[in-house]
Structure 1
């Protein structure tokens, strides 16, 4: 038997497609859901239909095989949950008859093993999955109205027509003679059944793992980065370039705390993958397939090179959820700053709530602002001196900075198995406040007032002027203006939402300390003001 073998239900089908609604066009014929093959009858009668008014008798499906798993494609046709009925309504029993006379009966319950379509908000099933996989948004294009959703990078899988539910054979190699579907009163359909001969869960349940992709040939490696990784029985994130510099060169660089040059080449790169052992992982660059590897082989061997053009390597060393505190060495107290964590390979580990790649490493003018800053290859997270999140076990490179009066910290720490705490220390090398000099920024756009306080303290700034302004037909920070400064609760920072007036010939004028707005903010047409002036 193949790794996954669809069986034909055509001779048993008793209802046509109209049972799920008039003028509907469900998917029929040879189908692939989550990388698994299924056969849905294309005859006039294409489903096994059950329930009151349809068929209340059992149907016996012959199997005569010893599957490790059986995957059902089915769908509930009516639900009373919106009317207040509790979840878990018994819809049917699927009874597995072994050739030795033993049986295994499994209850099929609403919102557990089966669900209705369309799926209501918050009505996902607990044990079944939709026929459509979770997926990535198109990386570089899409409708303007989806720009906000695009920042999430992902789309949740929802059912188009069916749900998939997997039964695991508890008797391993025992032969199943048939499957008996015993309906209750609720109407439902069975569209397809596929037998799995592999000892794996056909739906990936393990968390994603970091994978390094190397293109050995310079003709491939030196091309501008445009990599894509596809997984049939699983998921993969967007791939990203890894730093070109070795860890020692990065740690000893003169620009500690101030980012790193962006690697725009195609190699090396990394991606995160969650997949079944039988999954195929395809690596493409510039639209061309460079190679395909089996995920189970990659996990087993660690490194697989299917040809001379691509090498795939698992670099996941395991991870701990670590609480990090950055201490001011002079005061002994947590100090606001910005931080960056990475593995020796260069894979970033952002604190929870922050981004490893701000806006997917794309342009960020007035997009995805606040809480993070990207300096070339590196995205830093602004923290109040504490943060938490996943860090890889073993060596971790940390890069911590706070303005110009603290010595940046760029070093390697070791995360032991089970370690939950990490303490880092920053040293102030001068204190201009003590000499009555106070740093500030007179030209800041787009942040919220609280975001400006957070970033000001992370950069050791005393004052930030947050400027309202206009950009063509766009007005920004209107809601921040209150005509007076705000001071943080600890007194460390002052933010004054004030105004920048701009005109092509007269220039840009920053108006500090305004109690009332000066209108119009900008004039004389794009890009300062409205079209037509």
Structure 2
């Protein structure tokens, strides 16, 4: 939940009960649309080769294939494989492809089986040096991947389709294999049939939680934070056809390459669509792990919406965000432990970018307002030293290069046993670092993220059971930790060592009302699973959690959790009891807690925003209250005094506890 967001449960109920269409309300709260994609930047280390003189085949020659009909709209009609054509940039690598016209030669088709449109061997003149030979290619489908019922076959993984022969200027040669599901694959693949040394021509596309969707059923996929490239999952794509890219390493990059000779080794065709030489030192398709870069701008205007764009040629920019002013000493001294921090209004000169890329990659910063572009060579960025752009001005520095995987525990100082808490680790610049299993970006919108994470104002927290694993940067980090009102909140500065593997933290009780017979309770909780509610209750010092099943139009939540009855924690100190919230948008809302036997149905009445369109007024609030009392339950006016209608009368008639 997000206590600082208008998109809270109470606000949602008030808005929808007042007749505001839910969809319109959601759209009003949607963030700005992502920036449109631009032509990718290309390194001058690439040399695309024109293959037009070597092309042997048209898509029509290759012929219609039944499995091609699902690739594009045109393919659905004629069954032909249709690929991108002309000048293309795939994953930062430029290619000169043939025509997109299905009747024009645009492919080199290699096969040992004679046909007018294939060749057994082709030699492509190069006459220059290269460290890697980048191929854009595909092969036919392996029918053994979809055997008929009862058919016993072996998939042709590793089938040698061709050899790439590097012909050197001194007469020497080097042969490199082109194998099915290693260096090449088919234009579409079933799940679980990816390549070992080749990648799709599409890049992974990072997403934001407020990105627009063509189809709302893709909402769950959006929560992952990325449209993966392997199976053409991006719904914005009109084509799911795949070209496979591989970068063949030249074992002698200092020797001039006279030519590349491609020789078929099987009747099954190999189709080459593009060839590009790379004169760098590292594989342009092999990315390093996600790294954090801090870009220092010429002015303190990092928060200017849409002004700055960060991109990388040989990689993916996973996230970018403006820096916030973080004063560690002032933060440590603040008494608001666990209550969240307001976003700083101070202007920032820093943009942070999380990037996975080849060591050969170039990072680009574009100032949309001024029309300026700045370039950084990532292999020159070092920890502790800012690298200036080639054209001067902005600077970039890689942060947190050294990290360690930590196994942590939080101990109660009284019992010296692990205890659940709500905690957050923060970097030197105040950035949230979640334990493994918890989100970096928490979706605080209604009914969208109900894991063991909390966003409070502009601060994020993870709820843990007393143990956790986390990857932390070596050096200084900051800890914030709470356990309800009966424990002393913690804010600490920690130093993580390079060889550290364990971290023991402590939290101390201030009071123990439970020993005096008191019980703390939350009478109104939605959406959580009962086991997650137990964990959050333990971390917040709550003994009884009333998790309320409810109806929201045609959506029913937590109904499946009611038949199992109350759930009790292992230490017997925390209980979750699933009741119901019974609602009518004019008369009022009731929480029916702790009842036994069958639930009080129906839970909502009289149509939106509580029940479905056209539902009648099944009963009054007082009838719901009487039914709950018969089940030995407790009746609570959960939004008292709103809605202002029957609630007052029911209180006077002693229907509400």
Q: TM-score, length-normalised on structure 2? A: 0.76
Residues 285 and 497 of structure 1: CA distance in aligned 2, closer, same or farther (over 3 Å):
farther
Q: Name the counterpart of 2:581.
A: 500
What's 2:363 paired with? 281
**Residues in 2 aligned to 1:141 and 1:454: alpha-carbon distance in whole angstroms:** 33
Please give the secondary structure, in 1, of the residue aligned with 2:432: coil
Cα deviations by residue, 1:219-277 (Å, 9 ceiling, x for unpaired): x3454588653322210112234432322222222111222113588844422111234
Equivalence for 2:481: 400
Of residues 146, 151, 157 in structure 1, which corresponds to 2:223?
151
Greater share of residues in strand: 1
Q: Which moved more, 1:318-327 or 1:194-203?
A: 194-203
Give the unaligned 5+ runs of structure 2: 1-42, 65-78, 148-153, 233-240, 616-657
**Alignment match, 1:390:** 471
Q: CA deviation at 1:356?
A: 1.6
Contact 1:227 1:266 in 2 (8 A): no
2:96 aligned with 1:33, yes or no? no
Q: Distance in 2 between matches of 1:529 and 1:519?
A: 12
CA-CA distance at 1:408 after TM superposition: 1.1
Q: 1:113 aligns with which of 168, 172, 183?
A: 183
Distance 1:473 1:235, change over 3 A: same
Aligned to 2:33: none
How big is the shift at 1:100? 1.3
Distance 1:48 1:77 in 2: 14
- The 1:321/1:435 distance shift into structure 2, 3 A limit, reads same
| TM-score of the two chains, using structure 1 as the length reference | 0.92
Q: How far off its partner does 1:366 sit?
A: 0.7
Does residue 10 of the first structure (1) align with residue 25 of the second (2)? Answer: no
Q: C-alpha separation between the residues in 2 aligned to 1:467 and 1:78?
A: 52
**Is 1:50 paired with 2:110?**
yes
Distance 2:534 2:200 in 1: 44
2:203 aligned with 1:130, yes or no?
no
Paired residues, what number? 529
Of the three residues 398, 419, 424, the one matched with 1:314 is: 398
Distance 2:368 2:549 in 1: 41
Structure 1's consecutive aligned runs of 4 or more residues displaced over 4 angstroms after TM superposition are 224-228, 263-266, 283-291, 305-311
Question: Match of 2:508, SS?
Answer: strand
Answering whether residue 437 of structure 2 is matched by residue 353 of structure 1, we say yes
Contact persistence 2:287–2:315 (CA under 8 A): no
Q: Report if the CA contact (8 A) 1:298-1:313 is conserved.
A: no
Aligned counterparts, 1:435-454, within 5 A: 435-454=516-535
SS across alignment from 1:456:
helix
The residue number in structure 2 matching 1:141 is: 212
Which stretches in structure 1 are left out of the alignment for 5+ residues? none
* Alignment partner, residue 352 of structure 2: 270
Which is higher, the Rg of structure 1 or of structure 2? 2
- Please give the alpha-carbon distance, in whole angstroms, between the structure 2 residues aligned to 1:337 and 1:380: 10
Select which of 609, 612, 619 maps to 1:530. Answer: 612
- Checking the alignment, whether the CA contact within 8 Å between 1:241 and 1:265 is kept in structure 2 is no
Two-structure CA RMSD over aligned residues (Å): 2.5
CA contact (8 A) 2:163 2:175 kept: yes
CA distance in structure 2 between the partners assigned to 1:150 and 1:7 by the alignment? 38
Q: CA deviation at 1:145?
A: 1.8
Post-superposition shift, 1:402? 0.8
Residue 251 of structure 1 is matched in structure 2 by 332
Q: Alpha-carbon deviations, 1:16-49, whole Å to 9, x = none?
A: 1222644443111111111111111238211111
Q: CA deviation at 1:289?
A: 6.6
CA contact (8 A) 2:164 2:263 kept: yes
Task: Tell me whether 55-64 or 277-286 shows the greater mean CA deviation.
Answer: 277-286
In 2, Cα distance between equivalents of 1:225 and 1:464: 43
Structure 1 contact 339–401 (Cα < 8 Å) conserved: yes
CA distance in 1, matches of 2:426, 2:369: 29
Q: Does 1:511 align with 2:511?
A: no
Distance 1:147 1:380, change over 3 A: same
Quote the Cα distance in structure 1 between the aligned partners of 2:583 and 2:511: 37
Of 153-162 and 10-19, more deviation after overlay is shown by 153-162
Deviation at 1:93, TM superposition (A): 1.2
